[in-house]
Amino acid sequence: MDSEKIKEGVRLILSGIGEDINREGLLDTPERIARMYEELAAGYQDSAAEHLSKRFHVEDNDMVLEKDIHFYSFCEHHMLPFYGTAAVAYIPDGEVVGLSKIARTVEVFAKRFQLQERLAAQVADAFMKELHPKGVMVLIEAEHMCMTMRGIKKPGAKTVTVITRGAFAQDERLQNRFFQMLGR
């Protein structure tokens, strides 16, 4: 990450909206924003493959579901946050990953400028590529600040996306079981 470019960009934005970039309260803002982006956009330096590489052998190949995975991301169109929860289910094919690795995989892709639809697909595709399960299903429900703060201004409106791969794409019973396990 190039923190000098980020700091210069923040100075340009502040100046562009008519602020005095030498005002006391703004003097350290470019540095703070650069540090913030190092944290909030850390997904560009992270790898889902690394998180999904540690596996455990299992005899039972029943569905594994982790739900209520809270995440924060940025809309790539407006550079405003969107945030919500993800649910990830997969059907192992002899191997599982540690439960924290499921949430870490969501974080890898959430900590990037994103579209919600792409975020769900990237999580599902990472599981299919790295773990080779029989199937994956990802549901993301999020509130987008670009709809809350600007434009249509509809606080509380949530967007829900669902992605299916493998067995989940082919079997409606598996999809229904997924939704039942979510309590929907």
pLDDT in tens, 31-47: 999 999 999 999 999 99
pLDDT at 160: 98
Which residues are part of the catalytic machinery?
75-78, 116, 144, 146
User: What mean pLDDT is predicted for residues 85-108?
Assistant: 97
pLDDT at 102: 98
Share of the chain above pLDDT 70, in %: 100
User: What mean pLDDT is predicted for residues 25-35?
Assistant: 98
Identify the band that residue 60 occupies on the pLDDT scale cut at 50, 70 and 90: confident
Give the class (CATH, top level) of 48-182: alpha beta
Distance set, CA 20 to CA 4, 9, 14, 17, 90 (Å): 19, 15, 7, 9, 52
Give the strand pairing for 95-97 and 55-57. Answer: antiparallel
Name the residue ranges covered by the structural domains of the chain: 3-40, 48-182
Provide the 10 A C-beta neighbour count for residue 53.
Answer: 12
CA–CA separation, 122 vs 130, rounded Å? 12
pLDDT at 87: 98
How many Å separate Cα 152 from the centre of its chain? 24
pLDDT at 161: 98
In CATH terms, the fold of domain 3-40 is GTP Cyclohydrolase I; Chain A, domain 1 (1.10.286)
pLDDT at 184: 77
Q: What is the mean pLDDT of the chain?
A: 97
Sign of the four-CA dihedral 107, 108, 113, 117 = negative
